[in-house]
Amino acid sequence: MSNHHSTMSRRDFMKGLGLVSAGIGAATATSPLFHDVDEITSSASGERKRPWWVKEVDEITVETDWNAMKRFNARDIMQCSLADRIGRNKLDDLIKLSMNNRKQWILENKPGYTLRDFALFTGANFGWFDGFSKCFTGDKRTSPMSGLGGSDSDVFYLNFGIDGTEQRPGSPDALCVPLPGFPVGGLAVPRWEGTPEENLRTVRAASRFYGCDEIGVGELDSLKGQKMIWTQDWDGKHIVFEDVDHGYETGPFWGGVVQDKEKRVIPTKARWYISLSQLMSDWNIKRAPTLFGDFTTAENYSRLHYAQIRLQRFIKALGYEALAGFMFINTTSNNPGMATLNGLGEHGRIGQLVSPEFGALQRLAGIITDMPLTPSKPIDAGIWRFCSSCSKCQENCPPQALSASDPVTYDVKGTWNNPGKKSTWLDGVKCASFWYEATTLCGVCVASCPWSRQDKSWVHDLIVKPSIASTTIFNSFFRSMDDAYGYARAKYDYKTQVCVTERDPEEWWDLQDLPVYGIYKTH
């Protein structure tokens, strides 16, 4: 393999990337130690190992009319538009109900909603909704004195690229704070060069180091890829493609009123989209819709956001564009759709990505870059065909926002759905309204999915999943076995408004063998 070193020392360069022991603390206890970019590229973690029965295919497995599908406006997603759907007064009533329920359930010591459970969620939420840099270009950080997530005046500008520029077009004036070994204005050294295959191995290895379980890559210059990018972001900024050297955004970086003219700009040369995936805790999410499911979601998005920012900085430090968004509503794109195109999994009846390795038990992010990368192909592992004979996510949905009686159709349920694929469709109003009633983000559908079982027994890996990938004959039987063996314990009792879980949620606090992040990767 070719070498890609610049004139600065390996250690200084890798220290700046955060890939040597200095400054990474506890991460070194479990993460590989690299000495230069070539070692990252050639490491075992740069390889992608899929089960033998997962096939690469030319088209995604759910029938899709790409001529009918258009780019979607993120402000139409339920997190941004519920007030428009049900009225501001109704939403205010739901917010009051949510707060009252939370307080009452804490006072009642309701299992899954106790003060101790809420405190754990509060800690996990830091880094997701509560406090982090929401930066499109990935080159700003918050002041350690002001804490994470402040106003523009609290934000320090950090140029972590190596192209010699100090400010990017559209970035607000702010104080430049160099890292040790990184002068203000950048390093001004040639960027790291590799083949698309070498670049992919490099990015995959770095993503694993930073905390991602899987990545997939797609091309944005294709008819399909660009349709996954929002037309307008969650805060009202338009997302546009322009023939410019660097991505930028106009208007307030954080907070303030966004004018209709404000935008986030993707250079047309940034043709590659990296989908990032991170496994969730099955031990926690199967206690959904209690706070145990909620703090699992919050903790994952917090960790994944930091992994995304670190990978952004890594790619920028190599000399390339790396653009990403705030993970409130799928960053700058429809993450499940993009990840499906990029081969991480298949579209599932749940309306989310379902992968052979993790099922629906994962959270997603993404980065747009001009670093040439070998694209991934869609896969066929029999997941969408299995969904047709399962419907467990729909049967267990507390507000019946997913319904087992719903047909597979091109007809959407509302403007929160993006037309174009032949699927079942979520009633977003029912789903989002239930979040307020339950005081959590639910998650029963994710916990109910048979593909979400993290049982690594030979029965699953050598018999069940390969059979599903090759034939539909046994699908109904496997779904029945999933019920019989009690894997799907996240069922909602509508009369008592209590989730039936495998164990009392509060027993979680007494588990003696709970692993880091609640994730058993070998059981």
**Using 50, 70 and 90 to split pLDDT, how confident is the model at 371?**
very high
- Name the CA radius of gyration of the chain, rounded: 23
Rounded distance between C-alpha atoms, residue 374 and residue 200, angstroms: 6
Q: Encoding tokens for residue 454?
A: 């993290």
**Using 50, 70 and 90 to split pLDDT, how confident is the model at 352?**
very high
pLDDT of residue 275 exceeding 50: yes
**Using 50, 70 and 90 to split pLDDT, how confident is the model at 9?**
very low
pLDDT of residue 205 exceeding 50: yes
Q: What is the pLDDT of residue 522?
A: 57
pLDDT of residue 151 exceeding 80: no
pLDDT digits (tens, 9 = 90+) for 295-346: 899 899 889 988 888 888 888 878 899 999 876 666 789 999 999 999 999 9
pLDDT of residue 223 exceeding 80: no
Rounded distance between C-alpha atoms, residue 174 and residue 320, angstroms: 22
The mean pLDDT value for 460-470 works out to: 80
pLDDT of residue 231 exceeding 80: yes
Q: What is the pLDDT of residue 41?
A: 63
pLDDT of residue 168 exceeding 70: no
pLDDT of residue 187 exceeding 60: no
Q: What is the pLDDT of residue 180?
A: 40
Q: What is the pLDDT of residue 191?
A: 80
**Using 50, 70 and 90 to split pLDDT, how confident is the model at 367?**
very high
Range among 55-59, 72-76, 172-176 rated most confident: 55-59
pLDDT digits (tens, 9 = 90+) for 239-266: 999 999 999 999 876 556 678 889 999 9
Range among 47-51, 75-79, 117-121, 262-266 rated most confident: 262-266
Q: DSSP code of 173?
A: P
> What pTM value is reported for the model?
0.77
Rounded distance between C-alpha atoms, residue 487 and residue 483, angstroms: 6
The H or E element containing residue 157 is: strand 155-157
Q: Encoding tokens for residue 70?
A: 């258009």
Residue by residue, what is the 3-state secondary structure of 405-432?
A: CCCCECCCCCCCCCCCECECCCCHHHHH
**Using 50, 70 and 90 to split pLDDT, how confident is the model at 52?**
confident
Residues in contact with 416: Cβ distance below 8 Å, sequence separation at least 6, in sequence order:
76, 77, 78, 81, 85, 426, 428, 429
Q: What is the pLDDT of residue 134?
A: 55
pLDDT of residue 455 exceeding 80: no
pLDDT of residue 133 exceeding 60: no
Q: Are 285 and 259 spatial neighbours (Cβ–Cβ below 8 Å)?
A: no
Range among 68-77, 109-118, 132-141 rated most confident: 68-77
> Residue 74's CB: how many other CB atoms inside 10 A?
26
- Best CA proximity match to 473, nearest among 400, 352, 386, 392: 386
Long-range Cβ contacts of 205-208 (<8 Å, 24+ apart): 205/34, 205/40, 205/41, 205/43, 205/45, 205/46, 206/19, 206/40, 206/311, 206/314, 207/274, 207/276, 207/307, 207/311, 208/45
